[in-house]
Amino acid sequence: IAPLLEKLENKRVAISVITHTGYEAASKYAAQVRYLPYEIWLWFWIERPKTVVVLEAEFWYLLFRLARTRGARIIALNARISDRSFPKYYRMRWFYRILLSQCDRIFCQSNEDMVRFIALGARNVEVVGNIKLAQKIEANNHYSKPEGTIIVAASTHEGEEEGIIRGFIAYREDNPSAKLLVVPRHPERFAKVGELIAKTAPMMSLSRWSESQALQSDIILVDAMGELNNLYAISDVAVLGGAFAPIGGHNPLEPATFGCKIISGEEMFLQRELFKYVSHVQFTSLEGIAEALKNAETLPPSQINGSVDLERVIEYLK
C-alpha cells in the first residue's frame, strides 16, 4: 500500500493490522497503527473517519456496521476471493449479500474476482488490477555477488526447508560452487531451521546471516528480517516458499523485479492472480526441486507483465 499512501500524503491515515509483523511494517508508513479486531472498541471512532478501506478479503461485519454508524464510506481495495474460499462464501451468500451491501465501492484484482463478488450480491464493483503492481521494489542494501549460482529459498515454512535443501544437495553435485540462502518466513523458526540444515546437510558448511554477510558458506541461514529484496538482487534463482504446502504462496513480483528465475510449488492459490503477471515461472513439487534448478540454467529470467489503475482508486478516495 506504500504507493497509495504516497498519493494520500496530505490525508490523515490510520492503518489497522492483525499480526505483529504487520504492525512493524505499517509503522513505517503511518503514525497511527492499530490492531483488528480490538480497534472497534477504541475511542478513535469518535473522530468520525471519512473513509474505511479494507484490503483483499478482510470483511469484518462488526467493523462495517460501526463504520456505517459513524458515517464513514467503506471501500474494498485489492478485493479478491480465492478459488478455495468462493464455494464457502457462495453457500453463505445470503450473509455476504448483507455484508457486501455495506461497501460503497469494491475495487477488484481481476475480472474473475469481480464475477464472484457480483455472484455474492455485491454492487458497485469494478476491476483496477492488483495494487501490488504499483509497489516500488528496491534493495536498501547492496551486497557483492559471489561466484557461482546463488539460490535463495525465500519465505519458507515448516515442512518445506528439508525438501529444498535435499534438492540443492542433489543439484550441487554438478554445480559445486552453488550457494543456498535459506530465509524462513517467521523469525521464531530461525533456530529450528538452523538445526534442520545442520542435520540434513552435515557435509556442507553453514553460516548465519546475523553473524556474517560474507556469503562464503555453502548454505547461509538468513536469520534476519527485511533482507529479501537485497538477496533477490544478488540471486540467480528464487525458490518461493509457502506454496509447497497448502499455505497459499508468496509474492512473485519481488524476485521477478530483480530478474531471478522463479521456482514455486503448486499451492500458490492466494497469489494466483500475481503469478499471472509473471512469466517464465517453474512450478514443481519438493521432490522436483533438483530438476527445476537444473532446468533454470537454460530458462530466461522471470519478467513482470501487467499494470494497475491506481489513479482511479486515488480519484475515488479523494
Residue 4 pLDDT class (50, 70, 90 cuts):
confident
- What integer best gives the mean pLDDT of the chain? 90
Query: Which domain range does residue 230 map to?
Result: 150-304
Q: Is the pLDDT of residue 26 over 70?
A: yes
- In a domain? residue 140: no
Domain-located, residue 45: yes
pLDDT digits (tens, 9 = 90+) for 164-187: 999 999 999 999 999 999 999 999
Domain-embedded: residue 6: yes
**pLDDT value at 303 more than 60:** yes
Q: If you average pLDDT over residues 97-101, what whole number do you get?
A: 94
pLDDT for residue 299 is more than 60: yes
Q: Does 221 lie in the same domain as 110?
A: no
| Domain-located, residue 145 | no
Write out the DSSP string of the chain: -HHHHHHTTTS--EEEESSHHHHHHHTTT-SEEEETTGGGGSGGGGG--SEEEEETT---HHHHHHHHHTT-EEEEEEE---TTHHHHHHHTHHHHHHHHTT-SEEEESSHHHHHHHHHTT--SEEE---GGGG-----SS-PPPPSS-EEEEEEE-TTTHHHHHHHHHHHHTS-TT-EEEEEESSGGGHHHHHHHHHHH-TTS-EEETTT-----SSEEE--SSS-HHHHHTT-SEEEE-STTTTS----SHHHHHTTPEEEE-S--TTSHHHHTTEESEEE--GGGHHHHHHHHTTSPPPEE-----HHHHHHHH-
pTM confidence score: 0.72
Structural domains in the chain (count) = 2
Residues 221 and 129 in one domain: no
In a domain, 58, yes or no: yes
For residue range 116-140, list pLDDT tens digits in order: 999 999 999 999 988 888 888 899 9
Say if residue 40 is in the same domain as residue 169.
no
Whether 23 and 83 map to the same domain: the answer is yes
Write down the pLDDT at residue 313: 87
The verdict on 49 and 154 lying in the same domain is: no
Same domain, 186 and 73: no
Does 95 share its domain with 218? no
Q: Is residue 102 in some structural domain? A: yes
pLDDT of residue 246: 94
pLDDT at 12: 76
